[in-house]
Amino acid sequence: MIITIDGPIATGKSTIAKKLARAIGYIYFDTGAMYRTLTYGLLKHNVSLADKEALKAFLNSFILDIKIKHGERRYFFENEDITDKIRGEKVTQFVSQVSANKDVREKLVSLQHELSEGVNAVFEGRDMGTVVFPKADIKVFLTGRPEVRARRRYEEIINKYPSEYKDLTLEKVLEEINSRDHYDSTREISPLKQAEDAFVIDTSDLTSDEVVLKIQEFKDSRRTRLKET
């Protein structure tokens, strides 16, 4: 069974997807981290999206290296653990335009399809239920008020990377979230949008555990309805 969880930035997707996967014994895949890993590689080797030949060569040699350490997924590039680095300001600045590139998306969507074969998994991202897995068994779309999401994002960044983001302000985060929402929802390639058959949850006033419970209840009720038919 494939469960997809989509939604804009700072709706709690990663935390919720991890907790859901752990609760029901599924594998968890953070597709955003996959795009960040690839973005890190492009930046490291100074590969421009405008240089078609260089980009093609990079994508042909790119290997998605994920390892489990102490129960957590760690992301590697050229044998370097970059799990923390891919959340840094530089990667964050470029990941949106990288993930909107057609060739990049084709590469990673192909990898995501491979990872989904023969497993029960929760895939978290922005176009999982609309583009990557349009026939997913359960599709969830998370939303949230921009002000709440900005506060969450701000606190998360400040707590995890205090030295790198010491000049960050809540106002700047809100501005970036609104800008990112507009860009992701209007881009030509795989825009962020809600699947017609998605279960929509506004996470603004809910804890991650409450959201996970709602998804589990939806999953169980859907299974019951399928048995009845």
Least confident of 57-66, 100-109, 163-172, 207-216: 163-172
Positive or negative, the CA dihedral 212, 140, 114, 45 is negative
Q: Which two tokens stand for residue 78?
A: 């050229």
How many whole angstroms separate alpha carbon 185 and alpha carbon 215?
Answer: 24
Put simply, whether the predicted model's pTM sits higher than 0.85 gets the answer yes
* Candidate CATH numbers 3.40.50.300, 3.40.50.1370, 1.20.990.10, 3.40.50.150; the one for domain 2-219: 3.40.50.300
**Spatial contact of 31 and 125, defined as CB atoms under 8 Å apart:** yes
Q: Quickly state the pLDDT bin for 123 (edges 50, 70, 90).
A: very high
Task: List binding-site positions.
Answer: 7-15
Where do the domains of the chain lie?
A: 2-219
Task: List binding-site positions for ATP.
Answer: 7-15
Q: Which residues contact 76 (CB under 8 A, 6 or more apart)?
A: 65, 66, 67, 82
Give the closest residue to 19 by CA, choosing from 102, 131, 140, 178.
Answer: 140
Average pLDDT over all residues of the chain = 94
Compute the half-sphere exposure of residue 56: CA atoms within 13 Å on the CB side of its CA: 3
- What pLDDT, in 10s, does the model give residues 9-18? 999 999 999 9
